[in-house]
Structure 1
Amino acid sequence: MQTVNTYGDSLAGIYDMIYPTTPEADYAAEYISKLAPEGSVLELGVGTGRVALPMAERGLKVHGVEASEEMLRKLKENDPEGRIQSSLCDFSEELPEGKFDVTVNPLNTFCMVPDAEKQLNTLRLMRERTADHGVVILETYDPLIYHGLADGTKTEARHLKDGQVGIYSTYVDRLSQVAVVVQTFLGSDESPGRVVELSRYVWPSELDLMARLVGLRLRGRYAGWHEEPTDHHTSRFISVYEVAGDDE
């Protein structure tokens, strides 16, 4: 089974094609900038800079963490001015020293952490790196996307661009809350072929409990970066946590 860094290395060459630039990245950057009074942001799973680059364009001092050397190489290609500081590490085990206004984990990257204990440690590290006036932000998907599959399996094909196709076969273990997604890319000599992704989905109430255990409290949960309200149709959650007081 592939690790976080080999997964990233495999997808680095086509990552910007799978997750193309959309207004969503700008919405995220604008929202985060309003919560960073001193302009410092730590982004976990910075990838090729999808969100970090718009943040840097707004004058934020961004430190991006990434487990894949190839992803960081692509980030440097996308950021020739070197505006984004970066660190190579597994964010479930360590984070760069310092305190930040905002510690953020966008685009479901938190779910790439394979088990609950490691997810809890990730939140603990995020709390430790967040200034007392700051916030922790996580973007996660609705667990029913996987947990609600009738027989726990699904296969779908997506057109990417220039005739390239991605085939995604999903297998879900509901007891461990893990979805195994086998991704097969066709249509280009540059495609990585077959890549396996593990995603441990979290329920919002479970995430709130983890947060409380490490000294965070929920400030708000939204369906998008404009603080849209959530309902039973919400397909993703933007959860914003603030540092709890010592007596909480």
Structure 2
Amino acid sequence: MTHDGIFDTKVAATYDQDHGGTDTALVRKTVTCLEALAGDGPVLEFAIGTGRIALPLAARGIEVHGIELSGAMVDVMRKKETGNPLPVAIGDMTTTQIGGQFSLVALVFNTLDNLTTQAQQVACFQNAAHHLLDGGLFVVETLVPPLQRLPFGETKLVFACDETHFGVDEFDIVTQTYASHHVWMDGENHEHVTVPFRYAWPSEMDLMAQLAGMTLQHRWANWDQDPFDRTCRSHISVWKKS
């Protein structure tokens, strides 16, 4: 995994406000769905980050553990905690293993795309299965590759344009990789950041799950569990460990 240097102290400090952490309705829907999927068992969140989801889930009485690559992100979570600290292992979610087994492993908010090779994504599914009880569930929230929005032969897609931020995704359909280019503007100061990703199709993820001994149980358009169809720009998929 290649993103440990990207999610640094500066990014961690503003991560929640930039990535849905202040959207209380979205957080509530996410946590409610995860709570129902977990049942009475403990939850392991891959890429637990700043605790955007883990902390409110734990506040409902769910036992939550985490794996996170960025120590800076976990530092932010620690500052938000009001109860006992959640157990978090610092490491890569493709290889890091912790003791115990879980009824649910969760990977939310497009974080699967942070794994920039197919081999890493396959390893992530295998690591999730390793941590699951028999019959346990692995849930992933991520984007549907937006290639239908690209004219034939085009490689770039604008996703942000305002007075403080320009954002352009650049796609390589041969390697299934893309890069998000950001330009942040503050007066006369400009900062350019590029973040690499890899997209995977839902059917490709089903095969990754199959290789890890899991089968698809649900695929929804959102945390409200609306039906997934050809117009959806994201999906929430749930696989069960056989």
Q: TM-score, normalised by structure 1?
A: 0.88
Specify the alignment match of 2:158 in structure 1.
155
Q: What SS does the corresponding residue of 1:111 show, helix, strand or coil?
A: helix
Specify the alignment match of 2:191 in structure 1.
193
Q: Quote the offset at 1:81 in angstroms.
A: 2.5
- Residues 93 and 184 (structure 1 numbering): CA distance in 2 closer, same or farther, change over 3 Å? farther
Partners of 2:164 and 2:67 lie apart in 1 by 29
- Residues 146 and 82 (structure 1 numbering): CA distance in 2 closer, same or farther, change over 3 Å? farther
Specify the alignment match of 2:19 in structure 1.
19
**Paired residue type of 1:234:** C
Specify the alignment match of 2:109 in structure 1.
107
The 8 Å contact of residues 7 and 195 in structure 1, kept in 2 or not, is answered as: no
Query: What's the % identity of the aligned pairs?
Result: 28
Unmatched 5+ residue regions in structure 2?
none
**Matches of residues 31-110 of structure 1 in structure 2 within 5 Å?**
31-110=33-112
Unmatched 5+ residue regions in structure 1?
none
**Paired residue type of 2:158:** T
Q: What SS does the corresponding residue of 2:219 show, helix, strand or coil?
A: strand
Q: For each residue in 1:23-49, what CA deviation from the matched residue of structure 2 results, as whole angstroms up to 9, or x when unmatched?
A: 112111111111223341111111111
Q: What SS does the corresponding residue of 2:40 show, helix, strand or coil?
A: coil
Specify the alignment match of 1:180 in structure 2.
179
4+ runs deviating over 4 angstroms: none
The 8 Å contact of residues 224 and 237 in structure 1, kept in 2 or not, is answered as: yes
The 8 Å contact of residues 180 and 199 in structure 1, kept in 2 or not, is answered as: yes
**Matches of residues 107-126 of structure 1 in structure 2 within 5 Å?**
107-126=109-128
Q: How many residues align?
A: 237
Q: What SS does the corresponding residue of 1:194 show, helix, strand or coil?
A: strand
- Residues 8 and 72 (structure 1 numbering): CA distance in 2 closer, same or farther, change over 3 Å? same
Q: TM-score, normalised by structure 2?
A: 0.90
State whether structure 2 residue 222 is matched by structure 1 residue 224.
yes
Q: What SS does the corresponding residue of 1:60 show, helix, strand or coil?
A: coil
- Residues 61 and 193 (structure 1 numbering): CA distance in 2 closer, same or farther, change over 3 Å? farther
Q: Quote the offset at 1:83 in angstroms.
A: 4.3
Q: What SS does the corresponding residue of 1:206 show, helix, strand or coil?
A: helix
